Structures are given as C-alpha cells and as structure tokens.
Amino acid sequence: MNIDPRLQAEFLIEALPYMQRFQGSTLVIKYGGNAMTEPALQEQFAYDVTLLKQVGMNPVIVHGGGPQINSLLARLQLPSKMVDGMRVTDDATMEVVEMVLGGQVNKQIVQGIQRAGGKAVGLTGKDGNLIQARKLQRPDGLDLGWVGEVSQVNAELIRFLDGGGLIPVIAPIGVGPAGESYNINADLVAGALASTLHADKFVLMTNVAGVLDPESKLYERLRITEVQQLMANGVISGGMIPKLNCCLDALAGGVRAAHIIDGRVPHALLLEVFTRHGVGTLISDLD
C-alpha cells in the first residue's frame, strides 16, 4: 500500500509533541483480543511497542491467553468452566494455564518484539515475586480453585528492567505465600501494575471500538464522574463494566489516564498515544 509522503510527514509532526511530553513515562498495556491472535496485528503490535521504547517511553505488557488455554484444555480432554468471566482453575487446569501463559504465549510475544528490533524479557508474576497473590474469595462463597487476586506488586523489578532498556512481557500468574501459583485476570494484573508504577497511561486493548453510547457512537473522552454516572444509569453494561471498574481503580491508584482501545485497528497503540483523536476512549480528569 502506497501512502502519500505528505501524510506520513504530517503524522510525524503530529506525533512529535506527544513523544516529547511522554519521554521517560510508563505505559502499562493489557494485550489481548484480536491484536494477540491475528498474525498481522501481532507483528504491528510488536513494532508499536518497540517504537515506544525507542523514543524514550517505557511500555510494560501484560497479556492474556484465554483462547490458547481453551485449545489446549480441549486437546487434553479437560473440562473448561467459566464463572462471571473467570476460569474455574483446579490443579490440572492450573498446570495448563502455566504452560500456555508462561510458556507458549509469553515467548511468542517476546520473540515478536525481538524480531521487530526491540529487547524484551518474558516473566510470570512468580519471577522475582513480581505479582504476590492471595486466593480470590467470592461474596457468594463459590470456590474457583486456584484463582487469585493481586496482594502486592514488586515495582522495583519492573523499574530495573525498564532502566536496562528492556520491555517486560508479563503473564498474569501470581505467587502465593507458600509459593503456590494463582491464575489472575490479566486486566486486574495490568491495573495493579499501573497503579503501583504510577503509570502515565494504562491501556486496555479490546475487540470493541471503546466505550459506546446507546446509539453505538464512541465516547472519545470521559471524565471519572461521567463514567460513574453512565454505569449508574445503566447506559454502560455487560462486559464493559469490569473493564471500566479496572480503569477507575487504576486512576484512583495514581494513574494519569486510562484508555480502552480497539486492538483490531492496525497500529492502534501508536494512533492512541501519538494522535489527537486516537482510536478509543480516553478516561481522565486531567486536561
């Protein structure tokens, strides 16, 4: 595809003040959806985060892997059960989760970034006690097995890697007090990391355009009170609610801005960070 050189130059000029403004800043990116399963989008994402690092920003990636886990469970003829979007995780399922997230998926992302010219290091939350966890206790008492929630994040390990020019790629597996493994929702891990690191940006890559109004029009910008009001009035519902709650928690924890973006758009990450309008919904009270 041939692109008018003038348009390319205009994009670079538009991107310049954002590059200057966010040099040295931290971006925590929840990587998932189509952007993580379609080869062309995978390659573009790898180049995007490599470019972010090259211009002086510090991207930190937390990835999911639900479809890949489902595939291996099916091949092993193991049951797969979800409750409110969380995977019931017995001993056998936890082994599969660790193999897929900590092995297959994590290493594919690392290799993609390195092919793009970046330097990445793959981790699970168990490495260096990065993500300390406890068992998730549901209000209804339902036991989900080895499903956990974040109790503490070792931010110094991430800062050490950032300072060494590395891009951390993190699988959302936490470590309990006795060294046991916990399967944790990747959105929650990313939000906890963003809060602990006081990230400038927390980005959730999804398979939707962003936050939509009842007429399916995109909200390009929302303030915290507006999000709370839209949820209270039932304007926003379904699967977007936990994502927005994750964003609100991150903002309450010191993150400057949260973004819900459409990972199906080529180079969505660069467009959101380096252009005025972006490709999703920005949530922030800061101007």
From 32, 33, 102, 112, active-site residue: 33
200 as an active site residue: the answer is no
| Known active-site residue 201 | no
- Of the residues 32, 65, 66, 191, only one is catalytic, namely 66
Phi, psi of 22 (to 5 degrees): -100, 10
Active-site residue, from 127, 162, 187, 249: 187
Beta-carbon contacts of residue 70 (< 8 Å; ≥ 6 apart): 80
Active site residue 33: yes
Catalytic residue (one of 243, 262, 263, 278): 243
Annotated active-site residue in 30, 53, 126, 201: 30
Distance of CA 141 to the CA centre of its chain: 28
Please say if 217 is a catalytic residue: no
- Is residue 81 among the annotated active site residues? no
Q: Which residues are catalytic?
A: 30, 33, 66, 187, 243
